[in-house]
Structure 1
Amino acid sequence: MNRQVDRPDGFPYALPPLGNNPSSSAEGTTSGSFALPPVIAPGRRGARTFSSPDTRGMPPLPVKTAWDFMPPDWKRKPGYEADYETPDAWEPPPGFEPVTQLEFARLGIVTAEMRRVAEREGHLTPEQVRDEVAAGRMIIPANKVHLGYRLDP
């Protein structure tokens, strides 16, 4: 998926497809950086989306996601023992009100901030942003206070 963008000087530039070398020259970045084709998916299936396994010094990919570190008062529903990386698998505590983007994502709610990130990052849908936030692979550094100052998430 190539996207055409206009630079400030008016010269059009095609963004490289996901999974390709982002450099404008063949030798521009560490060889093999972003060499894996993208697999934007929830849970463990999407763990390698932007990985560079051949980059020296990088730690191995984690086998756990944020779904493995649920607060103790959240209860896993029966029947979701094997497929627990989804909002349908969890019951929040009584009276729980989400505050953070992670909490909204764990409940399966797409926020205005998630929609804005998806709008800005044209290769993602709001649901994919929600899934990446819920898995702990994406952090949206914005909250309701930030929006009052017109800061872009």
Structure 2
Amino acid sequence: MPSFTDRGLVVIQATIGPDQARRDYCDRYQERYAADVTAPALIDTGAEVCVVDLAILESLHLQAHDERNLNGVNGDSVLRPVFNIWLKVLTKDGTVVIDQPNQEVFGVNFVSGDYKIILGMDVLRSITLQINRDKHWVRLCRTTDDHEPL
């Protein structure tokens, strides 16, 4: 169920876990991997990339595979770790809207209590998004190549 922050931003639930390569490795060598985590995610059409709270990434025992500059809203640039995760977003009836088994995300320390994940345009461009703030609903659906809702 979506919610709206006091500033009118849309927050939904997203599930993250180890990426497909990590799951395959663990399955091959009969090792366990951390269970997926569901957390509040901000829909941010102004963000270019996805960002996840470092505390969640660490709870999944994930290792950064790179460090890159993350450009902020104010034009500042900070070197941040980059992780691969499995990212999923489902509708309230269980329909899979986003299912990215090898999604790159930046790890940051969040100060907001409203959300722990930011969904940027690298993921959002694959869905159709409708928001009605007056009635407090959000419609998400996957889009096909011709941009028709499924």
Give TM-score scaled by structure 1 length.
0.24
Q: Which has the higher Rg, Structure 1 or Structure 2?
A: 1
Report which of the two has the higher share of strand. Answer: 2
Give TM-score scaled by structure 2 length.
0.24
Higher relative contact order (CA 8 A, sep 6+): 2
